[in-house]
A and B are shown apart, each in its own frame.
Chain A
Amino acid sequence: MQWEIVIGLEVHAQLSTQSKIFSGASIAYGAMPNTQACEVDLALPGVLPVLNKGVVERAIKFGLAVGAKINSPSIFARKNYFYPDLPKGYQISQYELPVVEGGCLRIQVDEVEKTVRLTRAHLEEDAGKSLHKDFHGMTGIDLNRAGTPLLEIVSEPDMRSSAEAVVYAKTLHSLVRWIGICDGNMQEGSFRCDANVSVRPKGSDKFGTRCEIKNLNSFRFMEKAIEFEVRRQIEILEDGGIVHQETRLYDPDRNETRSMRSKEEAHDYRYFPDPDLMPLEISEEWINQVELMLPELPEARRRRYVTAFDLSDYDAMVLTATREMADFFESAVKQLPSQAKLCANWIMGEVSGRLNKEGIEISDCPINPVQLATLLQRISDDTISGKMAKNVFDSMWRGEQDGNVDAIIENKGLKQISDSGEIEKLIDEILVANSQQVADYRSGKQKAFNSLVGQVMKATRGKANPAQVNTILKQKLS
């Protein structure tokens, strides 16, 4: 039987505020345990939550970026359960009326565009951490993370392969960083994904029973976990069994998912509106203000790159993978408006390659876009060849001559010889010294011509303008 895979994702994006969602404590990562937990985070008797406005502003930004409805009012609700790292015994979340409802995300899988619908995005607080190491049979509790603001972004079950799920997650990851609401650091848990996976016979319009997979803390794990889970479910069904609805945990070491709790074991969270927080009212005015703060979104930029700069869809996609990359590109093009394609090629090629190799972000690139544009300018005005430019690029990367392109060219004597008199003189000498090759060429051997070009380039240590050499040589030999 042919099976269809159905995937929906729940993403927890940690919002990039200074302080927590309901207290003034810092959310900075990596502090000593419990040094960033104030009386509110510790849930001392009598304390009360106060909503951080910056958190709401980020949720509005997200809602606008995905074309969703911003609900006003939206309601904070208590999700009740006991766990040592949940100090109040309930998590403040949103249930019936989330701040963001609907919207969609366009993703591109293998050159095909697809729309993934969003169900909702709601605000909630993170829990603390239970530390099982170093306590000899006891558990330590670190409440630094308790109260960290999260936006839980829930998609519709619109994805049909692990590849689509990964592209969706990556696109979402890029978007939240693009609009500046989340740093996207997956190692530190700033962007966490859970996947709801089910399979059904191809052509069926009924969903199969789903399992929720947790602990997908990298895109690679997400892909592997979904693939494992899909195989597991298909095997069960093909053996005539039934899939049970449950929450499963992905174990990257064994590359498998295993049951965490069944539907029967699921908590009754007893959600009810939090009486300590008023319904969250968001005025049109506030939404309009936030809209003004919103940067041009990746999709709009992509379209603009294709129309204004005549780039391919692919190039536009790659350049808008992050806002930093796109900004880098645009700063370079601003210096060199006629050479957008050249800028694109170099950023996607040399620059990205070098960044990847050294494992650094474009924001830390040692060459700034203006310097890059100057280098490319020297290619387009024939000062240096493209090949030489790579040499100069290396020097710039190392910070030689403070990255001054012309100084490096000068210093290295790399300036291209474009004086036709000089080249002609040189060619004459070479033709005399290589009469055999001249004869071979005249008798129809094309290879001999290339050899002569090579001789000229060698004699100029590559500095001769190759196009010019070709032209003059052809004239001389005809």
Chain B
Amino acid sequence: MFNASLKQLSQQLAEKKISSVELTKEFLQRTRTLNPNYNAYITIDEAMSLAQAETADQMIAAGHASPLTGIPVAQKDIFCTKGWLTTCGSKMLSNFTSPYNASVIERFNRIGAVNVGKTNMDEFAMGSSNETSFYGPVRNPWDVAAVPGGSSGGSACVVAARMAPAATGTDTGGSIRQPAALCGISGIKPTYGLVSRYGMIAFASSLDQGGPMAKSTEDLALMLNVMVGFDERDSTSLQRETEDYSRDLDNPLTGLRIGLPKEYFAKGMSNDVAAAVERALDEYRKLGAEMVEVSLPNAPLSIPVYYVLAPAEASSNLSRFDGVRYGYRAKSYSDLSDMYRKSRAKGFGAEVKRRILIGTYVLSHGYYDAYYIQAQKIRRLIAQDFADAFKQCDIIMGPTTPTVAFNLGEKNNDPIQMYLSDIYTSAASLAGLPGMSIPVGFGNNNRPVGLHIIGNYFSEAQMLNVGHRYQLETDWHLRMPGV
């Protein structure tokens, strides 16, 4: 059951072979056993989960079920969830119980999905290893010495360790795709604007995008069907016709032109990753796809550009955490500015403070033009590179990460090395393009390797099709870590 697809679980629920309460209990039981080893959840509230499961069972009994009704879904702790502690992985919000639901949570609640817990994450989604969480690092289920990636490391871990059939994540520069790759699962960051950001605690508003994490692309499609939709409360939300992301899953890939950016197949990618990616590309050749070399000349600039723009927005987005209205406030202080200083100094961790400082600096008088404006210009060039590349190909592929999961503590003292984990993923974020990672085998130390698939705007259905056809031929996505 723990390895069953969402479709299979849904079918069992529909056929009353199992109730949502029973299913939820199974996953909660597994979580009770495994979570202490992995620290993947920040909050588990069995009573609240089971109450939702009961509601789901009533919906199913009343004939009001849709594909994810009654299915346990783990929610990244970045989504405000009414009545649940919502910490964003930070001490700053370690006492914050949300009085309202994020749009994404509302959408899952509406169709009767069951929230089985809030997953651990890098503090305010700033990190690539889950080590910046106030709640401690998450372990990679394939090897507890390894990081699960980040920032959606908790979500990647619960799916990989089968503590939940699916989970939500958010991605700013790779935070869905990189942990999906490192944990051997599938994850997609949709086109910017498809998933409402309302109630999703902001890191970098122009880049943040919610998306699903699951075992397979088939499951991702069902999750996307719930998550995507216009929201009038988010001004950057796109008003489009409703799509069924499952509709093209089985399409043949004959004649598919796969673009391989020469910049991504250059130095930097480790041999084990390169080998797994090559094998995956071979599989696609067998499926009838053809390979085209493309170029993204400005892509190598995406990390520096990202580390100007994301911190700039973050420095402003995180100003509301001031200890005045909610969240952590220092216990003693002498005056107002001392209260701000101490609350923020103690409430935020080192990486968050580093980014607030970088962001404040690049927005400061005299530096704004040199950094922020310059970075915005390059951001447009990066988007243009992709537009040019998509004239020659239908989809772009490459490695999701340069290496397999690294060890806990390995890059802690070297932020630049840590930032380079997102070297392949951040360009698509800057361009607002959808990006997906699927598992394509194992590299060094038997740690998973992810294939990065970048599509054109709104091509999610096609990307999922491309992933699904591969997963029909392979079983990497069905491999479970020995837990």
Residues on the A chain within 8 Å of B457, using CB: none
Which A residues from 148 to 174 make CB contacts under 8 A with B?
Answer: none
- Is B331 an interface position by the 8 A CB rule? no
Give A378 to B99 CA distance when docked, in angstroms. 68
Residues on the B chain within 8 Å of A276, using CB: 202, 205, 235-236
- A89 nearest in chain B by CB position: B319
Set A48, A88, A271: member contacting B235, Cβ < 8 A? A48
Looking at B296-304, B320-328, B386-394, the stretch in contact with chain A turns out to be: B320-328
Closest Cβ of chain B to A318, distance in Å, is 46
Give A88 to B204 CA distance when docked, in angstroms. 15
Asked if A46 contacts B199 (CB within 8 A), the reply is yes
- A278 nearest in chain B by CB position: B235
Asked if A272 contacts B235 (CB within 8 A), the reply is no
Asked if B99 contacts A78 (CB within 8 A), the reply is no
- A37 nearest in chain B by CB position: B325
A80 and B80 in contact, given A48-B234, A268-B365, A272-B368 (Cβ under 8 angstroms):
no
Q: Mark A89-107, 1 if CB is under 8 A from B, else 0.
A: 1100000000000000000
Asked if A43 contacts B235 (CB within 8 A), the reply is no
Asked if B86 contacts A45 (CB within 8 A), the reply is yes
Residues on the A chain within 8 Å of B281, using CB: none
Give A65 to B38 CA distance when docked, in angstroms. 65
Residues on the A chain within 8 Å of B197, using CB: 46, 48
Set A47, A270, A277: member contacting B316, Cβ < 8 A? A270
Interface centre among A89, A268, A270 (most CB of B within 10 A): A270
- B320 nearest in chain A by CB position: A43
- Is B88 an interface position by the 8 A CB rule? yes
Q: Total A-B residue pairs with C-beta atoms closer than 8 Å?
A: 97
- B87 nearest in chain A by CB position: A45
Give A80 to B368 CA distance when docked, in angstroms. 14
- Is A31 an interface position by the 8 A CB rule? no
Which A residues from 233 to 274 make CB contacts under 8 A with B?
Answer: 268, 270-272
Residues on the A chain within 8 Å of B96, using CB: 45
Asked if A80 contacts B99 (CB within 8 A), the reply is no
Q: Mark B168-212, 1 if CB is under 8 A from A, else 0.
A: 000000000000000000000000000001111110111000000
A39 and B100 in contact, given A46-B199, A87-B320 (Cβ under 8 angstroms):
yes
Give A84 to B343 CA distance when docked, in angstroms. 13
Q: Mark B395-407, 1 if CB is under 8 A from A, else 0.
A: 0000000000000
- Is B478 an interface position by the 8 A CB rule? no
Asked if B363 contacts A46 (CB within 8 A), the reply is no
A45 and B201 in contact, given A39-B100, A82-B319, A84-B324 (Cβ under 8 angstroms):
yes
- Is B340 an interface position by the 8 A CB rule? yes
A46 and B232 in contact, given A87-B325, A272-B363 (Cβ under 8 angstroms):
no
Asked if B235 contacts A45 (CB within 8 A), the reply is no
Q: Mark B78-95, 1 if CB is under 8 A from A, else 0.
A: 011000001010000100
- Is B253 an interface position by the 8 A CB rule? no
- B96 nearest in chain A by CB position: A45
- B344 nearest in chain A by CB position: A82
Which A residues from 306 to 344 make CB contacts under 8 A with B?
Answer: none
A50 and B232 in contact, given A45-B80, A89-B320 (Cβ under 8 angstroms):
yes
**Residue count of chain A within 8 Å CB distance of chain B:** 28
Closest Cβ of chain A to B284, distance in Å, is 36
Asked if B365 contacts A275 (CB within 8 A), the reply is no
Give A81 to B46 CA distance when docked, in angstroms. 42
- Is A49 an interface position by the 8 A CB rule? yes
Residues on the A chain within 8 Å of B80, using CB: 44-46
- B319 nearest in chain A by CB position: A89
Which B residues from 365 to 417 make CB contacts under 8 A with A?
Answer: 365, 368, 372
Asked if B313 contacts A48 (CB within 8 A), the reply is no
Asked if B312 contacts A50 (CB within 8 A), the reply is no
Q: Mark A36-64, 1 if CB is under 8 A from B, else 0.
A: 00010011111111110000000000000
Asked if A272 contacts B316 (CB within 8 A), the reply is yes
Set A44, A45, A278: member contacting B88, Cβ < 8 A? A45
Give A275 to B376 CA distance when docked, in angstroms. 12
Asked if A49 contacts B235 (CB within 8 A), the reply is yes
Q: Can you report 7 residue pairs joining A to B where beta carbons are below 8 Å apart?
A: A43-B320, A44-B326, A45-B202, A50-B232, A84-B336, A87-B324, A270-B360
What residues make up the interface of B, taking CB atoms closer than 8 Å to A?
79-80, 86, 88, 93, 96, 98-100, 102, 197-202, 204-206, 232-236, 312-313, 315-316, 318-322, 324-326, 336-337, 340, 360, 363-365, 368, 372
What residues make up the interface of A, taking CB atoms closer than 8 Å to B?
39, 42-51, 78, 80, 82, 84, 87-90, 141, 268, 270-272, 275-278
Further contacts, 8 of them, CB under 8 A, given A44-B99, A272-B372: A45-B93, A46-B80, A48-B197, A87-B324, A270-B316, A272-B363, A276-B205, A278-B236
In order of increasing CB-CB distance, the 9 nearest A-B pairs are: A89-B319, A270-B363, A275-B205, A275-B206, A46-B199, A45-B201, A43-B320, A46-B80, A46-B201
